[in-house]
Structure 1
Amino acid sequence: MKKIFKKSIIIPLLLAVFTFSCKDLSELNENPNGVGPETVNPNLVMPTVLTEAAKAYVNLGYMDIAGVVQHTQKDAWASSHNDYDWGGNQSWNAYYDILRNNDLLYNRAVETKFEFHQGVALVMKSFMFGLITDLWGDAPYTDALKGEAGAVTDILPAFDTQDKIYAGIIADLEKANTLLSKSKADYDGIVDNVDVYYGGDPTKWRKMANSLLLRYYMRLSIKQPDIAKAGIEKVIGNATQYPIITVPADDATMSFPGNSDQDSWPANSVYDASGSGYRRIKMCATLVEKLETLKDPRLGIWANKVEVPLVVDATQPAGTDKIVNGKRILSPDKVKNTVVDTDPDYVGLPPSFSALPSSYNLNPTPGQTSYNPHVSFLNNIYKQAKGPLLKARLISAAEVNFILAEAALRGWNAGTAKDRYEAGVKASMDTWTVGGSYATYIANPGVAFDKSIQQVIEQKWIASWTAATEAWFDFRRTGFPALKAGPAAKREVLPVRFYYMQDELQINKANAESAVSRLEITSYSQADKGNSAWSKQWLIQGTKKPW
């Protein structure tokens, strides 16, 4: 029985080995249930590109960059968010992964003659490369995405200069505008539900393309003002040829299904049982105080009122520290020289407050598991995995109108500055469900149009809530709002770029070092030298901005 058993195993194994040895190994590696890149339908690739791009953008604008522009601060695990302690190793790999998928989308769209998909892919290529160069500066562009070609120049690509990348982005958006200029019925291959931004609507994609044109032309407004002026005037001067986003219904947004942690609003408490991600994010005092000064109704949409206000009462006997009618009553000796915020409604966490930000405002439970009842939490909607206001917002009517208001104030033919400014404010308020308060708000001191670029940029900063990367790029270009680093920040001023990651500096050494050499070292670069978050990329070199 033993011999028969062994033969019954060995003989089939030998036959299997013999059979497979006659086959090409590439055949054995083929997944019979998979779809190869050479035959994949563009509609199978598009959702991955769109969802991953939107998630990457909101993860910047709602998380650490919201800390840089002082929309929010964290009271624990806060060093990168509050203090810009980024460690010099910020990776762009996930962004290039999106671009590789997008490149496949574009190539397959060309092969299948799906012009709508080609236009979408060019818009997303522009958006992602725009994000990369805005964050890092010079970056692989022309030779990027060619790794499979096998040449050394493809595997170790050169870094294109920032001006060349912007020029390429603008050219691609112009091409996308043309590709997306037909009616929906004239395109092949559109499947509405794979387009998670616009449901297969080429007209709205065309508006997104041209609105991004305005964004990137305005990026160049200080460094290349003639190009910026001509580009914006061209777009605005021909509304038929260059339709743009002017109302919130056309905003480029993505909702979250909320079915799992991977497709939900970031830092929610539905898939984080501890709720720590939500609990640690607090409103920043910089934003809270600005909104309160302007009597801005958006504050109540974004933040909760402070749970337990502080009251310092000089009539109380020494040693008083008690809760009365939901308020914490303190005698002056209990406060001493500690700075406290006794606002009865909203209290923000000051930027880069200290190495222990959870201690602010006499928090009774400082530390990593802190629950500070004396600082405003974000609104409860941000605990949820999904919701009507929980959207990644890639570009909006508010942003577009503020761009045009700034352009008009620079003397360019972009409409009436006051009308554009007010339209931007109204679009943001409508987006955040407080449009009914617009007439009162726009008449408030500090909100009523004062003909200054500073006011336009400050309202744009407010409107960029959860999309804070744009506020950072505007601050870097204009110096507005006049944000100041706090005492625990890594430097005395705000950073202006991301670090090139160590893998790139080591593996693609020559090209990366060449890019670093083109950065402008500043007095804040310090030991990081060229590759510093405080070294200036081409876009702001020689501008004396933002500091």
Structure 2
Amino acid sequence: MKATKSIYITLLVTLGLFLSACEDLTDLNKNPNSAENISSNYILTYTLVNTGKTFANLGRNGSNIAAAMQYMQAGTNEGAAVTNQYAWTAEGWNGYYDILRNNQIIYDNGVRDDNKMFQAIALTMKSLVFGLLTDLYGDVPYTDALKASSGTFFPKYDSQAEVFKGILTDLKTANTLLSSLTAKDAVSATADVMYKGDGAKWKKFANSLRLRYALRLADKKAEMSALGINLETEFKEASAGAFTSKADDAAIAYLGTNADNSFPGGPLASATFNWLTKPAKPLVDKLISLKDPRLQRWANPVRRKWDANVKEVTTKSFTNMFGETYSVVYVPAVASSADTSLYVGLPVGLPITQGIVYNKGNDTGVYPNEQNPYISFIHDRYRKNVDPYVSMNLMNYPEVEFILAEAALLGGFGVTDAEDHYKKAVRASMDKEGALTAATFNFDTYYAQTSVAYAGAANKQERILEQKWISSWFSVQSWFDWRRTGYPALKTGPVAQYGPALPIRYMYPSPNLDPAYIVNYNAAVDRLGTTNYIPAGQSKDHHYAKMWLIQGTSKPW
């Protein structure tokens, strides 16, 4: 956003500007335009919006994570090979630390002004972004980060355990601050684009994040206890004050008024829509088998459908359960291998030559490679500037209920009744997508299916995580959940470079060649765990290296 540039503008005083001798020189040295003097309300908007964009971009259509979690799949374009091979390269993190630097100003100003709400919001957002960084990379600069002004230019990479300790400590402090707000602890409702200055909602968000990270550490209870963090106590305290409905969701809406505040797939932000990826077959087939209405929220029906019941090419109108109407060309099926479904996903990891013609059969029509009409496209809403079902989502109520369900199942977190929380989670996910209002959908009928109901599951953790994966459509959190549990049991395609395994971390940014930086970088890399998927002679700074969080476990593979 252009306005945010003013945060970094330094007041320029030209040599031709003379000031009267009676002016106090200490006042002259105060810069009204420096970052520390910018209103925290202004910086808050920047921090929230850019954090929201960061989360949205990590999981949205076209991202490596959306492909890995098999929400979307490449395969009908020239760049598909890189995605399908999982040939990930080093990922930069400047954007994350830029958010954190601005967030630190909010915190420092909050301390200076004795504003507990600004302090709490800053601690919550700091925890969220550092939580994302350590989930992506492993060990990251934490305690010494953001201290360049005091001369620390090459911060050490803190151990992941220490980072999570700091996160949980800060979130607990945020909860305490938000429990004792007074009238002077105000935040502008306009600046707070997520919660409109509502301290009670920020408190719920802080506690919900505590649940997220406490469960993330489920296999590391002993190590965290040695650092003074009792995960059961953290979880029990946080569960009493977490999200209780979709009204609590930590989400930021797109405005759709210019390129900067519109959804990236809409015409304001993108001259041409990304047709290069398609809904992935594993997700589409799962939703079809469950008769799941969320499929119709996320994907379009095929434009040309193979059908054994028609004798000639026929155009028909199809209206889905949400009242959206599509024109579909029905084509006589000539081969038993044809996928005759109205919704068809692209298989995972096909060679490009196969992806281009997938399900095309003997149709000799000429179509753009990326627009094979026998494969479903992503829903039309993702080609709009704004849509009520598309937002920058940081955390939502269904995730909280899924967390409570799994914690109750695992035990040792002070929460009970896994089935009740699981059912609430599935229902909340349906509600989030507007499915409960569809005239032809009955939630109880859906839930009663043996492939959905909690009681019918042989592996109840897998059942919970499968529905959580579906609910987490386009969210980076599903990758972290899969990495921790191995569920759902996703497999790579035939061209995967390291098949059958999926990547488990981001590689660090290319290291600065300064010796002080190299020492810290090498120490972090040395702490990574090697795996059979790292080729001999390559650095452990690899997307198939195990970070501390999953070392000593058999997860995810």
TM range (shorter): 0.7 to 0.9
**Residue 532 of structure 2 corresponds to which residue in structure 1?**
523
Q: C-alpha separation between the residues in 2 aligned to 1:126 and 1:302?
A: 30
Q: Which residue of 2 aligns with 1:328?
A: 331
1:471 counterpart = 2:473: no
| 8 Å CA contact retained: 2:344, 2:375 | yes
Q: Is the 8 A contact 1:264 1:386 kept in 2?
A: yes
Question: How far apart are 1:389 and its partner, in Å?
Answer: 0.9
CA contact 1:182–1:202 (8 Å) conserved in 2: no
Residue identity matched to 1:83: Q
Q: Deviations over 1:397-456 (max 9, x none)?
A: 111111111111112321310111011111111100012432221111211113611100
Q: Structure 1 residues 32 and 221 mapped into 2: Cα distance closer, same or farther (>3 Å)?
A: closer
- Cα deviation for residue 368 of structure 1 reads 7.5
2: CA distance between counterparts of 1:401 and 1:18?
Answer: 63
Q: In 2, Cα distance between the equivalents of 1:247 and 1:141?
A: 33
Deviation per residue, 1:470-519 (Å, 9 max, x gap): 11111111000000011122211100000112144767211111111111
Amino acid at match of 1:191: S
**What letter is aligned with 1:327?**
Y
> Where does residue 10 of structure 2 map in the other structure?
none
Distance (whole Å) between structure 2 residues aligned to residue 122 and residue 495 of structure 1: 30
- Aligned pair partner of 1:78 in 77, 80, 92: 80
Specify every segment of 5 or more residues in structure 1 that has no aligned partner in the other structure, as ranges: 1-15, 317-321
Mapped pair 1:534 → 2:544: yes
Q: State the number of aligned residues.
A: 505
**Amino acid paired to 1:159:** Y
1:457 to 2:460 alignment: no
Which letter maps to 1:496? I
**Is the 8 Å Cα contact of residues 294 and 445 (structure 1) preserved in structure 2?**
no
Cα distance in 1 between the residues matched to 2:144 and 2:223: 28
Letter paired with 1:522:
T
- In structure 1, what residue type is equivalent to 2:520? N
SS in 1 for 2:304: coil
Name the residue aligned to 1:165.
Answer: 163
Further displaced range: 262-271 or 90-99:
262-271
Work out the CA distance in 1 between the residues paired with 2:368 and 2:510: 30
Match of 1:49 in 2: 47
Q: Which residue of 1 aligns with 2:277?
A: 281
Corresponding residue number in structure 2 for 1:5: none
How far is the alpha carbon of 1:237 from its aligned partner? 5.5
Bigger shift: residues 482-491 or 435-444? 435-444
Task: Name the aligned partner's letter for residue 507 of structure 2.
Answer: Y
Partner of 1:236 in structure 2?
236
Q: Which amino acid aligns with 2:395?
A: I
Contact 1:428/1:463 (<8 A) preserved: yes
1:7-86 counterparts in 2 under 5 A? 19=16, 35-62=33-60, 63-74=63-74, 75-76=76-77, 77-86=79-88
Tell me if the contact between 1:143 and 1:158 (Cα under 8 Å) persists in the aligned partners: yes
Partner SS, residue 309 of structure 1: strand
Once the two structures are superposed, what CA deviation does each residue of 1:235-266 show, in whole Å capped at 9, x if it has no partner? 43676xx4101211101001001122221112
- Which residue does 1:443 correspond to in 2? 448
Structure with the higher helix share, 1 or 2: 1
Question: Which has the greater radius of gyration?
Answer: 1
Structure 1: distance between partners of 2:524 and 2:129: 19
Equivalent residue, structure 2, for 1:380: 380
For 1:488, the aligned partner's letter is: V
1:303 aligns to 2:299 (yes or no) = yes
Tell me the residue number matched to 2:104.
Answer: 103
Change (3 A) 1:79 1:421: same
Alpha-carbon separation, structure 1, partners of 2:366 and 2:171: 50
The answer on whether the counterparts of 2:356 and 2:369 sit within 8 Å (CA) in structure 1 is no
1:205 matched to 2:202:
yes
Matched, 1:180 2:185: no
Distance 1:212 1:223 in 2: 17
For structure 1, which segment, 323-332 or 43-52, has the greater mean C-alpha deviation from structure 2 after superposition?
323-332
Structure 1 residue 123: Cα displacement? 0.4
Instruction: Work out whether residues 166 and 216 of structure 1, in 8 Å CA contact, stay in contact via their aligned partners in 2.
Output: yes
User: Judging changes above 3 Å, is the alpha-carbon distance between structure 1 residues 420 and 505 closer, same or farther for their aligned structure 2 residues?
Assistant: farther
CA deviation after TM superposition for structure 1 residue 392, in Å = 1.3
Mean alpha-carbon deviation: is it higher for 444-453 or for 394-403?
444-453
Deviation of residue 390 (structure 1)?
1.1
1:352-373, Cα deviation, whole Å (9 max, x unpaired): 1223433322286899762111
Counterpart AA for 2:218: S
Residue 495 of structure 1 is matched in structure 2 by 503
Could you state the TM-score of these two structures normalised by the residue count of structure 2? Answer: 0.84
Preserved CA contact (<8 Å) 1:358 1:366: no
Which residue of structure 1 lines up, in the alignment, with residue 120 of structure 2? 119
Query: Displacement, 1:202?
Result: 0.6
CA contact (8 A) 1:408 1:414 kept: yes
Displacement of 1:378 after TM fit?
1.2
Q: Distance in 1 between matches of 2:236 and 2:420?
A: 14
Residue 399 of structure 1 aligns with an amino acid whose one-letter code is E
Amino acid at match of 1:381: R
Runs (5+) with no aligned partner, structure 2:
1-12, 316-328
393-402 or 341-350: bigger deviation: 341-350
What one-letter code is carried by the residue in structure 2 that aligns with 1:385?
Answer: N
Give me the whole-angstrom Cα distance separating, in 2, the residues matched to 1:364 and 1:55.
42
Shift in CA distance, 512/33, structure 1 to aligned 2, threshold 3 Å: closer
Q: Could you list the per-position Cα deviations for residues 21-43 of structure 1 after superposition, in whole angstroms to 9, with x for gaps in the alignment? A: 999xxx9xx99996212322211
Matches within 5 A, 1:251-262: 251-262=249-260
Question: Which residue identity is paired with 1:263?
Answer: N
| AA partner of residue 190 (structure 1) | V
1:330-380 deviation digits (Å, cap 9, x = unpaired): 544xx9xxxx55133110011112234333222868997621111111111
Partner SS for 1:502 = coil
* Bigger shift: residues 189-198 or 73-82: 73-82
Q: CA offset at residue 230 of structure 1? A: 4.5
Tell me if the contact between 1:301 and 1:379 (Cα under 8 Å) persists in the aligned partners: yes
